[in-house]
Every structure is written in structure tokens, then in C-alpha cells.
């Protein structure tokens, strides 16, 4: 027990220091992982010993229901921690996660975006944002269609807190964004429309000037600069900047449908902002173990701490 | 409604502070004890009124921002203390426990006055049934740790006997609730972000707090650790509870920055 307590204390101190000074990297470092490994070994041995004692004295223990309950609780809570550590390690070594960006109508073959032997596709039918009265986002919805071997296997609308789970792969509504349709008139060249992401550069043939599509702002307020007043598209603008080589010529906030002169015979026109969803895809072979461990830990602690006390003469 | 709620919060502060002063005065004049008890009960009633007003305004339980958390935290702590005093007939820790609660309410007024009377819609991440169980278990745990720390400090100060059964029992209950809160929070995090544990500062410091109390519960089984050594661990645990709420919220922002 002493070694386990020393390990717990070390992990506590290390976590406090790591969280305060190097929160992004500390918990992935080898020394911290070694501490967790040692804790796992200690807890596994502790669980085995507790279980052994339980089995050795099972006749006496089974005669005293209070002792039986407490012994069961102790085994459960220590086993719970072991399960959690094994499950977390499985995710660390065998699990995968990736962020997937989908425009409405886009389809992704799942085994091309995340390492898996499952062959199915996810299509985004529709992405919608529901708003509160004050303009703040109330919920984000992605209507997804899962297809396998050319047939629709499942249609589900996911939202924040309500992910999709299919054949061991989970998809979470994690973020969203916008791409902008830009109509380009470039001298004598034919008109063309490109889909631009925030930060993209548009180059031309009829001029050396270039345009940077800086940011789509759904509710533009000059006083707020690049921050949108709300997520609802009340006053949509695209902030852009025009360059001549590396020299910045100007910055503007353009409404949709209005041509902007870049140079002689060169214009751009922002036509439409198209929302995309960002899904967090995950395979986690350790999740069932972690969930079972959490359940065991909760039940074990409640049994030991809230259950009937064991009188000393009964021990 | 906002100005009435402001006023009520100040009144709660007044009652808790007055109860604390009179409990302390009760060390010299015992007869003041019952007066302090009723002041604390009156404060608790008004605290409950503010919580009910929040429920009516927002249409949900008051658990979603720092103001509501502190208000509920103070309410549960005073409620637990009143039950403890009524059962144990011991009001030695009353002054200190009520002082801590007065400071919690004062923290609302000083650190988050803009949240008083405000009913902002919930952000999508908070729209989950897990919110209620995760936060309620955390509040009960924090309240139990506060009461246990109050008792431990007074017992240390008064150099009483090695019998710290009440501190142990209250801390045990708090530990069980903190464990539930951490596990249920992890289940919720998995549903909302796809990761049950991200070493977010709030998670990390909740784990650090859990560890100190886990060590306390193990060491308390040893006769030589009972009494003052164990009481000191309970007090350190309470300092960690305060840091997990205030320190992390203001110094180490992360995924729980709304809390």
C-alpha cells in the first residue's frame, strides 16, 4: 500500500506542476507515462492480492454480509482503476482520431481518412446551425448518411453531445466553418468560380496583384474588427486584402454579390458562403474497458464508503 | 428582477457574515450559539430563494456558470453544516464554516457581479443530461470537503482528542461524490468532445484533489496517522478544492472556462 500511496502522491505533484507550467506537453512525456505504468503495475498487484485474500477467506467472509459487501467493493474499485489504465493504454497505442471536414453533399470513404478495416462511407446531407433569440448558437446539426456496399445503412443527425457510432467508429460534431464561392473575372480569360477557404490567396494572369481571402464574418460590425457580432449571418462580409507582390495595397470588408475592382479588367465577387461541418472521427478499442472501469470504480467506492461499516470484532 | 437578485445576494452575504461573527462570539458567550444558528438558517432560506429565482428565470437548475455554482456550493455547505450542528449539538466550527460561506458569496460579488440576474442561453456543449449529475456531485463533494476542513481546523486549533470520526465520515462522503463527479464528467466529455480525459487544467486539478483525499482515506486506516496528521491532509485537500475552482478558472483556463 505504501508504494501505491507514494506513486499516487508523485503523480499528484507531477500533474499539478505539469498542468501549471507545460500543460500541452507534460502529460505525453516519458517520465509521466512511466509513473502511470508503475501505478498500473501497483494497482494490478493490489487488486490481485485483494482478490486472493477474498478467495482465501471466502468462507468466513461469506458468513458476514457486511464484510462480504466491503471486500467486494474494495476489489471492484481497485479493479476499476486497473481497467481504466488498460483501456486508456489501448487507446494510446491502438486508437486513432482525425478531424474530417465535409461540405454539404461531400462523401468520405472512412478507411481513407482513418486507419480501419471497415469499409463504409459517410455523406453530409445537410449542416445547420440553430440559433437562440440573442443570436448565439443553440445547436449544430449534421445530417449524416452512412452507406455500405452501395446501400444506405444508417441516416442520423448528429449534434454536440449526440455523436454517431457505427461499427466501432464514432463521429462527433466538433466544429464548423465556411468556404466562400468567389467569381473571378481575370482580363480576357473566361470567368471562373473558385471555392476559397479563410487564408487562401487568389492569383490572376492579367495583373501581378493578388487577393487574400482573410476571413468570412457572419455578422460584421466595424467596431469589432475581425470578430463577428454573432454567429447568425445577419450582416455577412468577407474581409480581404489586396497585395502587389509583398506590398499590402488595402484591406476591405466586402458584401456578397458586389464586384470588387482589383486592377484594370480584373474583379472578384464574393457570391456565397457555404458552411462545412467538422467531424471528430475516432476508433477506441479501449473504450469498453474504460467504461467498465469507471462503473466498477463508482460502484466500488459507493459500496465501501456508503455501505454498512464493518465492526472491528467482525473483521 | 436583476436588482432584486443583487439585493438578495447581498442579504445572504450579510446573514452568513453575521452568523459567523456571532458563532465566534459564542465562544465567550455560549447563549449566542442558538442565535447564530437561526441567522445561518435565515441566510440559507434566502440563499434558497435566490436559487429558486434562478430556476424560474433560466428554466433549468442553477449549475451552469461560476455564480450559480458558488451560490449552490454555499447553499449545500450551509445546509450540511446546519444538519451537522443539529445532530452533533456541536457548534464549534460554526464561525469558521459560515465565514467560508460568506467569502464564497463575497467572491460572487467581487469576481462575477455581471452574472447575477443574467439568464444566458446554454452553449451547445452544456446541453446534456450529464451536466446535472456531474455538477451536482461536484458541489456536494466540495461542500463536504469545506465542512470537513472547517471541523478539522477547529479541532486542530482546540487541540482536541485524536477522535476525528466526524471529519473522516464527512470527507469519505465527499470523496465518494468527487469520484462520481470525475467519472460522470469523463463519460460526458467522451460524448461531447470524443475524449474522456484530456488533462484539461480543471480535470487535472480535480484528479490532484482526488489523490490527496485518496491518500487521506488510506492513511486514516493507520492508527499513527489519525488525529492531527489526518486533519492537516483534510485542510490541504480543501486548499486544493479552492484552487481547482478559483485558481484554475482564473489562472489556468481550459475547456471548463465557463465554470
Distance (Å, rounded) from C-alpha B37 to C-alpha B33? 6
Please answer yes or no on whether B180 and A302 come within 8 Å at the CB atom.
yes
Conformational region of residue A199, where left means phi above 0, alpha means psi within -120 to 50, and beta covers everything else: left
pLDDT of B29 strictly over 70:
yes
Please answer yes or no on whether A88 and B197 come within 8 Å at the CB atom.
yes
Q: What percent of chain A has pLDDT over 70?
A: 98
Distance from CA of B159 to the nearest CA of A (A): 27
Distance (Å, rounded) from C-alpha B201 to C-alpha B54? 28
Cell representation of residue A277: 461541418
pLDDT one-digit tens code per residue, A255-270: 999 999 999 999 999 9
Read off the pLDDT of each residue in B43-57 and give the average, rounded to a whole number: 95
DSSP H or E segment with residue A217: strand A209-217
Read off the pLDDT of each residue in A111-138 and give the average, rounded to a whole number: 91
Distance (Å, rounded) from C-alpha A288 to C-alpha A261? 59
Among B177, B151, B161, CA closest to B231: B151
User: Among A221-230, A273-282, B82-91, B130-139, whose mean pLDDT is lowest?
Assistant: A221-230
Which of the two residues, A61 and B95, has the higher pLDDT score? B95
User: At the top level of CATH, which class does the domain A97-177+278-283 belong to?
Assistant: alpha beta
Please report, to the nearest 10 degrees, the dihedral formed by the alpha carbons of residues B83, B85, B86, B87 taken in order.
90
Read off the pLDDT of each residue in B37-57 and give the average, rounded to a whole number: 95
Please answer yes or no on whether B175 and A88 come within 8 Å at the CB atom.
no
Between helix B2-25 and helix B94-111 the angle, nearest 10°, is 150
Mutate to test the interface with B, among A305, A309, A310, A312 (most CBs of B within 10 A): A305
CA atoms within 13 A on the CB side of A215: 9
pLDDT at B253: 64
pLDDT at B256: 59
Q: What mean pLDDT value characterizes chain B?
A: 92
Residues of A in contact with B180 (CB under 8 A): 298, 301-302
Q: What percent of chain B has pLDDT over 70?
A: 95
Which residues, including other chains, have CB under 8 Å from residue A43's CB and lie 6 or more apart? A4, A78, A81, A82, A85
Distance from CA of A14 to the nearest CA of B (A): 9
Give a three-class secondary structure readout of A230-244: CCCCCECEEEEEEEE
pLDDT of B161 strictly over 80:
no
Read off the pLDDT of each residue in A15-30 and give the average, rounded to a whole number: 91
Distance (Å, rounded) from C-alpha B58 to C-alpha B153? 38
pLDDT of B209 strictly over 60:
yes
Please answer yes or no on whether B207 and A136 come within 8 Å at the CB atom.
no
Read off the pLDDT of each residue in A106-118 and give the average, rounded to a whole number: 93
Q: Global pTM? A: 0.89
Across the beta sheet with A151-159, the strand order is: A107-109, A121-131, A137-148, A151-159
Distance (Å, rounded) from C-alpha A224 to C-alpha B179? 43
DSSP H or E segment with residue A31: helix A30-56
pLDDT of A313 strictly over 50:
no
Please answer yes or no on whether B193 and A136 come within 8 Å at the CB atom.
no
3-state helix, strand, coil in chain A (%, to 5): 35, 40, 25
- Which of B123, B124, B252 faces A20 most closely, judged by CB atoms? B252
Distance (Å, rounded) from C-alpha A56 to C-alpha A52? 6
CA distances from B85 to B119, B147, B244 (A): 35, 11, 28
Give the count of beta carbons closer than 10 Å to the beta carbon of residue A154.
15
Distance (Å, rounded) from C-alpha B178 to C-alpha B127? 22
Q: What mean pLDDT value characterizes chain A?
A: 91
Mutate to test the interface with A, among B127, B183, B185, B241 (most CBs of A within 10 A): B183
Question: SS3 of A227, please?
Answer: coil
pLDDT at B160: 67
Which of the two residues, A136 and B35, has the higher pLDDT score? B35
Cell representation of residue A154: 444508417
Mutate to test the interface with B, among A83, A298, A299, A308 (most CBs of B within 10 A): A298
Which of the two residues, A308 and B32, has the higher pLDDT score? B32
pLDDT at B241: 96
- Which of B176, B199, B205 faces A302 most closely, judged by CB atoms? B176
CA distances from A211 to A190, A200, A250 (A): 18, 8, 10
- Which of A18, A88, A294 faces B187 most closely, judged by CB atoms? A294
- Distance, CA of B40 to chain centre: 16
Distance (Å, rounded) from C-alpha B105 to C-alpha B85? 21
Strands (E) in A110-187, as ranges, are: 121-131, 137-148, 151-159, 164-166, 169-186
Buried b (16+ CB within 10 A) or exposed e, B205-225: bbbbbbbbbbbbbebbeeeee
- Counting one residue from chain A and one from chain B, the pairs whose CB atoms sit within 8 A come to 104
Is residue B162 within 8 A of residue B208, CB to CB? The reply is no
Give a three-class secondary structure readout of chain B: CHHHHHHHHHHHHHHHHHHHHHHHHCCCCCCHHHHHHHHHHHHHHHHHHHHHHHHHHHCCCCCCCHHHHHHHHHHHHHHHHHHHHHHHCCCCCHHHHHHHHHHHHHHHHHHCHHHCCCCCCCCHHHCCHHHHHHHHHHHHHHHHHHHHHHHHHHHHHCCCCCCCHHHHHHHHHHHHHHHHHHHHHHHHHHHHHCCCCCCCHHHHHHHHHHHHHHHHHHHCCCHHHCCHHHHHHHHHHHHHHHHHHHHHHHHCCCCCCCC
pLDDT at B210: 96
pLDDT of B89 strictly over 80:
yes
pLDDT one-digit tens code per residue, A163-192: 999 999 999 999 999 999 999 999 888 899
Domain boundaries, chain A: 2-95+286-306, 97-177+278-283, 178-273
User: Among A246-250, A290-294, B99-103, B225-229, whose mean pLDDT is lowest?
Assistant: B225-229
Read off the pLDDT of each residue in A225-254 and give the average, rounded to a whole number: 90
- Which of B176, B183, B207 faces A305 most closely, judged by CB atoms? B176
Amino acid at each position: 500500500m505504501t508504494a501505491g500511496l507514494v506513486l499516487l502522491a508523485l503523480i499528484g505533484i507531477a500533474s499539478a506542476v505539469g498542468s501549471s507550467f507545460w500543460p500541452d506537453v507534460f502529460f505525453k512525456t516519458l517520465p509521466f507515462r512511466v509513473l502511470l505504468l508503475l501505478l498500473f503495475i501497483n494497482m494490478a498487484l493490489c487488486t490481485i492480492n485483494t482478490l486472493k485474500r477474498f478467495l482465501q477467506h471466502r468462507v468466513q467472509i461469506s458468513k458476514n454480509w457486511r464484510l462480504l459487501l466491503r471486500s467486494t467493493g474494495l476489489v471492484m474499485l481497485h479493479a476499476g482503476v486497473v481497467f481504466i489504465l488498460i483501456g486508456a493504454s489501448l487507446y494510446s497505442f491502438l486508437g486513432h482520431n482525425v478531424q474530417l471536414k465535409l461540405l454539404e453533399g461531400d462523401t468520405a470513404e472512412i478507411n481513407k481518412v482513418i486507419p480501419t478495416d471497415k469499409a463504409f462511407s459517410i455523406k453530409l446531407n445537410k449542416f445547420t446551425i440553430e440559433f437562440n433569440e440573442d443570436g448565439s448558437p443553440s445547436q449544430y446539426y449534421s445530417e449524416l448518411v452512412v452507406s455500405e456496399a452501395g446501400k444506405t445503412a444508417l441516416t442520423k443527425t448528429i449534434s454536440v453531445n449526440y455523436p454517431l457510432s457505427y461499427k466501432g467508429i464514432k463521429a462527433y460534431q466538433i466544429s464548423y466553418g465556411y468556404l466562400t464561392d468567389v467569381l473571378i473575372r481575370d482580363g480576357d480569360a473566361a470567368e471562373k468560380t473558385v471555392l476559397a477557404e479563410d487564408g487562401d490567396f487568389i492569383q490572376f494572369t492579367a495583373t501581378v496583384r493578388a487577393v487574400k481571402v482573410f476571413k468570412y464574418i457572419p455578422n460584421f460590425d466595424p467596431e469589432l474588427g475581425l470578430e463577428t457580432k454573432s454567429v447568425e449571418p445577419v450582416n455577412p462580409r468577407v474581409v480581404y486584402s489586396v497585395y502587389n507582390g509583398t506590398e499590402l495595397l488595402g484591406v476591405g470588408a466586402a458584401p456578397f454579390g458586389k464586384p470588387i475592382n482589383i486592377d484594370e479588367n480584373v474583379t472578384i465577387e464574393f457570391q456565397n458562403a457555404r458552411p462545412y461541418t467538422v467531424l471528430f472521427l475516432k476508433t477506441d478499442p479501449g473504450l469498453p474497458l474504460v467504461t467498465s472501469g469507471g462503473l466498477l470504480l463508482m460502484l466500488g467506492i459507493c459500496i465501501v464508503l456508503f455501505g454498512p461499516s464493518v465492526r472491528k470484532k467482525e473483521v | 428582477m436583476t436588482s432584486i437578485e443583487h439585493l438578495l445576494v447581498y442579504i445572504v452575504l450579510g446573514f452568513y457574515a453575521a452568523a459567523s461573527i456571532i458563532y465566534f462570539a459564542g465562544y465567550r458567550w455560549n447563549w449566542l450559539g442558538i442565535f447564530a444558528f437561526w441567522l445561518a438558517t435565515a441566510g440559507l432560506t434566502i440563499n434558497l430563494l435566490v436559487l429558486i429565482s434562478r430556476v424560474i428565470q433560466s428554466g433549468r437548475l442553477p449549475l451552469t456558470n461560476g455564480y450559480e455554482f458558488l451560490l449552490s456550493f454555499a447553499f449545500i455547505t450551509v445546509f450540511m453544516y446546519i444538519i451537522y450542528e443539529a445532530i452533533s449539538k456541536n457548534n464549534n466550527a460554526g464561525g469558521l464554516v459560515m465565514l467560508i460561506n460568506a467569502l464564497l458569496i463575497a467572491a460572487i460579488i467581487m469576481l462575477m457581479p455581471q452574472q447575477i440576474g443574467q439568464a444566458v442561453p446554454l452553449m451547445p456543449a452544456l446541453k446534456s443530461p450529464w451536466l446535472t449529475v456531474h455538477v451536482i456531485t461536484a458541489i456536494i463533494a466540495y461542500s463536504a470537503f469545506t465542512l470537513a476542513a472547517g471541523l478539522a481546523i477547529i479541532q486542530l486549533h482546540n487541540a482536541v482528542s485524536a477522535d476525528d470520526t466526524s471529519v473522516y465520515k464527512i470527507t469519505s462522503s465527499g470523496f465518494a461524490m468527487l469520484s462520481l463527479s470525475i467519472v460522470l464528467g469523463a463519460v460526458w466529455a467522451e460524448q461531447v468532445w470524443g475524449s474522456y480525459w484530456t488533462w484539461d487544467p480543471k480535470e487535472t486539478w480535480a484528479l490532484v484533489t482526488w489523490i490527496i483525499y485518496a491518500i487521506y482515506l488510506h492513511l486514516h486506516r493507520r492508527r499513527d496517522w489519525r488525529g492531527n496528521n489526518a486533519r492537516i491532509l483534510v485542510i490541504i485537500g480543501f486548499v486544493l478544492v479552492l484552487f481547482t475552482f478559483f485558481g484554475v478558472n482564473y489562472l489556468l483556463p481550459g475547456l471548463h472556462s465557463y465554470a
